[in-house]
């Protein structure tokens, strides 16, 4: 799913969550849901999964893992293990480190940062 840079960000996400709070890793039997949750969180943070203009609608991403429902709730404990305050996100996912972002997303953020104040909406 997506490119190698995205998969690397997903592996880093899992490694950081496991290092911070291994209790939030998936119990046996829910590997697909956990993988979908990781892909959802990293995909949302990178603007790759979600509503337009995202490349892949959330439902299509979940279907890739054989799921019919959303894995966003399963992502919550893992996001909290990373220190993300999930109560203030309101549908956005901010992972708090550029190591979990793709180069394309980092580029977007840098252009937004460097744009004149009146050009940013």
Domain ranges of the chain: 4-119
pTM for this prediction: 0.83
Burial class (CB in 10 A: 0-12, 13-18, 19+), 24: middle
Look at residue 54 in the predicted model and tell me its pLDDT.
80
Burial class (CB in 10 A: 0-12, 13-18, 19+), 100: buried
Determine the Cα–Cα distance for residues 10 and 6; give it in Å rounded to an integer: 6
Q: Which residues, other chains included, contact 29 with Cβ-Cβ below 8 Å and sequence gap of 6+?
A: none
Pull the structure tokens for residue 82: 């990373």
What are the residue ranges in the chain where pLDDT is below 70?
1, 24-29, 88-91, 119-121
């Amino acid at each position: 799913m997506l490119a190698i840079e995205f998969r690397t960000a997903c592996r880093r996400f899992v490694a950081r969550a496991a290092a911070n709070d291994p209790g939030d890793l998936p119990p046996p039997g829910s590997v697909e849901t956990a993988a979908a949750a990781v892909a959802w969180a990293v995909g949302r943070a990178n603007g790759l999964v979600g509503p337009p203009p995202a490349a892949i609608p959330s439902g299509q991403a979940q279907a890739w893992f054989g799921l019919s429902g959303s894995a966003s709730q399963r992502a919550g404990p893992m996001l909290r293990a990373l220190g993300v305050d999930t109560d203030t996100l309101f549908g956005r996912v901010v992972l708090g480190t550029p190591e979990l972002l793709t180069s394309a997303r980092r580029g977007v953020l840098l252009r937004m940062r460097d744009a004149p104040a009146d050009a940013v909406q």
